[in-house]
Amino acid sequence: MKRRLMIAAPVAAIASLVLPGIALGAQTPILETPEASINAMWVIVAACLVMFMQAGFLLLEVGFSRAKNAGAGVAKVLVNFSIASLCYWAVGFALAFGGLGEIAGTHGFFLNVGSSIEEAGSSIPFVETYSISPAAFMFFQFVFCAVSLEIVWGATLERIKFGAYVIYAIIFSAVLYPILSHWIFGGGWLQVNVGMQDFAGSTVVHLIGATGAFAALLLLGPRIGKYTKDGKPRAIPGHSMPLVGLGVLILWLGWFGFNPGSTLGAIGGRFAEVVVVTNLAAAAGVVAAVAIMWMKTKTIDIGMAGNGAIAGLVAITAPSGYVEYWAAPIIGAIAGVVVVYGVLAIEKLIDDPVGALSAHGLAGIWGTLSCGIFTSPRLADLNEVGDPGLWYSGSFHQLGAQALGVAVAFACVFVASYAIFFAIKKTIGLRVTAEEEDAGLDISEHGMYGYPEQFIPQPEYSTGAVYGNKPKAAPASSPATVTPMTSES
Amino acid sequence: MKKIEAYIRHEAFEPIRAELLDKGFPSLSIIEAKGSGRQKGIVERYRGSTLTVNVRPKIKLEVVVEDKDKDVVVEAILRHARTGEVGDGKIFVLPVEEAIRIRTGEDGQSVLQLHEESEIPT
């Protein structure tokens, strides 16, 4: 009886997946115009680049971990991305983009609208504004949510319980991120009433993620051995700088979907300009971070070069659609300086293994504020959000709007995240035991090692075969019975 | 029988191994070791924090020979492992009570005898 049920359940699940597909096929979900098809094409390509950023975060975080925690990072990224996929589709997207309410959207739960713009336009206004497939729009917005969630966890490496990921991921991707992104991206009050400019999410994605991380870190505490008895920070070197480097470059690549994709269309070629702006800022971030670090410590710090790249990219995320080329290196370079001083200052008080608070938080704040300085009149008009920045207008108005947006986003996310993590800490617990932390999360939380050969003896290649000789049989005079190791002799 | 334990620099191992093989002592073991002596540790700088590593990597070389061969091995190590700088390492000579070859179960001095030509892989 039980066995029959076990077979019936998957069959029912598969059937439920297939049936709506047939129903949709009958509706012929065709995009009405060639423009809409081209836009969908670009936005899906960009979304896939952003999805690939998960690999970048994975490698960055694994590289900054010690070898005994390498596997834990892999499990975390896969599980978090999957939870966010389901929750954002079911609930999050509707709250973020299902209508133009001031606080949250109301349409599109368990989204099932196919690709027809006409059909979806009434409940998801943006698809009509941008003439884009609702499916492409939803997927693009979802991968942003997944990036923001991933940022939270880099700071909590090597000591947080896996259960905390799961609980926070559900709330974050279903409610917290969608509501904040509605305020700033989705036609909510910060975008429409305040005129806050955030093209691709320096605040929405990066500052929100870093704020969640900040709340978690305050409750979580530093790794064992991070601080000496007199409170001085000690280095806990990550186990692989090559993985960190690969992670940074994958994130850098992903950002060419992140910012340019936020044009939400390919018509007019605006996205190409955004690519250039994005790259200029990232490059300036690396150069500035490396230079400052060299002046301070006389070393070319590898990890800090990576942080400089991320900081430059994070900072240019908000202004990437609002500023001209010349402003991009300035924004990136300042971000590179901010991240170095940020890491050095935060390191004294809070243990943030990857520098997320600086690279995503401080650089995110700077990037958002930089719109208020550098936004050009041409692009403010084009995006129809806010006013030109201080440089052009001589007015602090836009800078004030940006500052208000940053303050609101930080305060709301911090309070909500602190409450969630506090509840987790009081119930299932936020942190593994000291013994589990010492042993490493790979074995204590996941029951296996990321690099098993370091811990488990391995057999060598069979005796003698390396030289092409078969092992010799034991001499007849042997006083002991010998069993040959290989069967071929 | 004597066991010679030598803590040497990594780069000294290969010439020592070559000379010992040449003189008929192919059997030896090395272990990656970390230790401290007069040589100072190094300071690692990592994202603005420092970490002083007080133990440095060395190779621990272990060779067991008959009493009469001890000096040959010690001299080979001294010749190749000495740079004159702090950190060249140390040699310890210990008495060994028994030696047993696992493959055959034979014991005593014969375990330490030179291999026959045919036994040495080319």
CATH number at residue A324: 1.10.3430.10
With pLDDT > 90 as the criterion, what percentage of chain A qualifies? Answer: 73
For the ranges A215-229, A249-263, B34-48, B78-92, the lowest mean pLDDT is seen at B34-48
Report chain A's mean pLDDT, rounded to a whole number: 88
Contacts of A480 in chain B (CB under 8 A): 104-105
Query: Cβ of A478 and B121 within 8 Å?
Result: no
> A15: burial class by Cβ within 10 Å (0-12, 13-18, 19+)?
exposed
A482 → closest Cβ in B47, B103, B121: B103
Question: What is the pLDDT, as a whole number, of residue B110?
Answer: 80
Is residue A104 within 8 Å of residue A179, measured between CB atoms?
yes
- Per-residue pLDDT for A21 more than 90? no
**Structural domain containing residue B107:** 2-116
Rounded average pLDDT over A263-279: 93
Domains held by chain B: number:
1
With pLDDT > 70 as the criterion, what percentage of chain A qualifies? Answer: 87
Beta-bridge partner residues of A40: none
**Structural domain containing residue A200:** 32-445
B45 → closest Cβ in A301, A355, A478: A301
Give the model's confidence band at A374: pLDDT under 50 very low, under 70 low, under 90 confident, else very high: very high
**Interface check A231 vs B, CB under 8 A:** no
Is residue B5 within 8 Å of residue B62, measured between CB atoms?
yes
Beta-bridge partner residues of A227: A233
Give the model's confidence band at A481: pLDDT under 50 very low, under 70 low, under 90 confident, else very high: very low
**Interface check A433 vs B, CB under 8 A:** no
Contacts of B32 in chain A (CB under 8 A): none
Question: What is the pLDDT, as a whole number, of residue A115?
Answer: 67
Pairing mode, if any, of strands B29-35 and B90-95?
Answer: unpaired
Question: Distance between CA atoms of A39 and B13, rounded to whole angstroms?
Answer: 64
Question: What is the pLDDT, as a whole number, of residue A479?
Answer: 46
Residue A6 lies in a domain: no
Dihedral sign from CA coordinates of A360, A366, A367, A369: positive
Is residue B41 within 8 Å of residue B56, measured between CB atoms?
yes
Query: Cβ of A301 and B46 within 8 Å?
Result: yes
Beta-bridge partner residues of B4: B63, B93
For A294, the closest chain B residue by CA position comes to B48
Count how many pairs of residues, chain A against chain B, have C-beta atoms within 8 Å. Answer: 57
**Interface check A293 vs B, CB under 8 A:** yes
Residue A451 lies in a domain: no
For the ranges A27-36, A186-195, A322-331, the lowest mean pLDDT is seen at A27-36
Query: Cβ of B104 and A478 within 8 Å?
Result: yes
**Interface check A484 vs B, CB under 8 A:** no
Residue B121 lies in a domain: no
Rounded average pLDDT over B32-61: 89
The continuous run of DSSP H or E covering A91 comes out as none
Query: Cβ of A474 and B122 within 8 Å?
Result: no
pLDDT digits (tens, 9 = 90+) for A147-195: 999 999 999 999 999 999 999 999 999 999 999 999 999 989 999 999 9
- Per-residue pLDDT for A54 more than 90? yes
Give the model's confidence band at A120: pLDDT under 50 very low, under 70 low, under 90 confident, else very high: confident
Question: Distance between CA atoms of B60 and A317, rounded to whole angstroms?
Answer: 53
pLDDT digits (tens, 9 = 90+) for A421-439: 999 999 999 999 999 999 9
The continuous run of DSSP H or E covering A6 comes out as helix A2-26
Domains held by chain A: number:
1
B105 → closest Cβ in A237, A355, A478: A478
Question: What is the pLDDT, as a whole number, of residue A42?
Answer: 95
Counting Cα atoms < 13 Å in the Cβ hemisphere of A471 gives 16
Nearest by Cα to A203 from A43, A50, A401: A401
Question: Distance between CA atoms of A101 and A21, rounded to whole angstroms?
Answer: 31
DSSP secondary structure string, A348-408? Answer: TTS--TT-HIIIIIIHHHHHHHHHHHH--HHHHHHHTSS---HHHH--SHHHHHHHHHHHH
- Residue from A301, A341, A350, A354 to probe the interface with B (highest B Cβ count within 10 Å): A301
Question: Distance between CA atoms of B39 and B42, rounded to whole angstroms?
Answer: 10
* Residue type at position B102: I
Question: What is the value of ipTM here, to two decimals?
Answer: 0.79
Residue B37 lies in a domain: yes
- Per-residue pLDDT for A6 more than 70? no
* pTM of the entire predicted model: 0.86
Give the model's confidence band at A121: pLDDT under 50 very low, under 70 low, under 90 confident, else very high: confident
Nearest by Cα to A333 from A357, A367, A360: A367
Question: What is the pLDDT, as a whole number, of residue B35?
Answer: 92
Give the model's confidence band at A116: pLDDT under 50 very low, under 70 low, under 90 confident, else very high: confident
CATH of residue B106's domain is 3.30.70.120
Residues ≥6 apart with Cβ < 8 Å to A231: none
- Per-residue pLDDT for A489 more than 70? no
Residue A456 lies in a domain: no
The more confidently predicted of residues B115 and A109 is A109
For B44, the closest chain A residue by CA position comes to A235
- Closest CA of chain B from A16, distance in Å: 51
* Residue type at position A387: D
- Per-residue pLDDT for B84 more than 90? yes
Residue B20 lies in a domain: yes
Residue B99 lies in a domain: yes
Query: Cβ of B48 and A347 within 8 Å?
Result: yes
Question: Distance between CA atoms of A270 and A268, rounded to whole angstroms?
Answer: 6
Question: What is the pLDDT, as a whole number, of residue A7?
Answer: 59
Contacts of A296 in chain B (CB under 8 A): 48
For B118, the closest chain A residue by CA position comes to A472
What is the Cα gyration radius of chain B? 17
Residue A489 lies in a domain: no
Question: What is the pLDDT, as a whole number, of residue A86?
Answer: 97
- Residue from A223, A236, A337 to probe the interface with B (highest B Cβ count within 10 Å): A236
Give the model's confidence band at A251: pLDDT under 50 very low, under 70 low, under 90 confident, else very high: very high
Residue A105 lies in a domain: yes
User: Tokens 């018509």, residue?
Assistant: A267
Residue B122 lies in a domain: no
Question: What is the pLDDT, as a whole number, of residue A26?
Answer: 42
**Interface check A1 vs B, CB under 8 A:** no
